[in-house]
Amino acid sequence: MKQSRHFNLASAVVLGMHDALVSLTGLIAGLTFADMERGTIVMTAIIASVTAGLSMSASNYLAEKSNQNKYALRAGAITGTAYIATSIILVSPYLVGYRPYLALIFTLILVVVIIFGCNLVICRRQNKKFWRHAIEMLVICGAVSIISFCIGEIAKHTLGIDV
């Protein structure tokens, strides 16, 4: 039997979690740097989290289904759940009531904790080198976030939009 026909919990979790870490952290940071109010940041993050979590769930389901994976529905559900659960953690500093810039610092700390925690579990279960995988995920997450921020800044200056 092909490996794609098996349910891979780690893969489904990492897909949802990592996408939330990159996209939602970028959104939260962008809104914070745009000097949005805490309530606006929370509302936007919640709407984006649920929408993106459902989208990730459907996308992974369809991808696994096209590979004839009999666990496609489970993989999709786990991916969406991982996305939304990660999002809740990332938004939590804003829900507590911290000022936006302080909340962003706590969110970034949570990103690092989530990345290291997830990699610790995966590497122990798969007998892989922890630091290599953790640093790789951290660099990828950071690079995508920085690129996204730069694109936002370029768009802001090119389009002349200042919020």
> Measuring CA to CA, which residue among 116, 79, 90 is closest to residue 26?
90
**What b/e readout covers 64-74, taking b as 16+ CB neighbours within 10 angstroms?**
beeeebebbeb
* Total domain count, the chain: 1
The pLDDT tens digits for 9-33 are 888 999 999 999 989 998 998 888 8
pTM (predicted TM-score) = 0.85
- The DSSP line for 80-94 is HHHHHHHHHHHHHHH
Domain that holds residue 87: 3-159
In whole angstroms, what is the distance from residue 27 CA to residue 162 CA?
A: 16
The pLDDT tens digits for 107-146 are 999 999 999 998 898 888 888 889 988 899 899 888 887 8
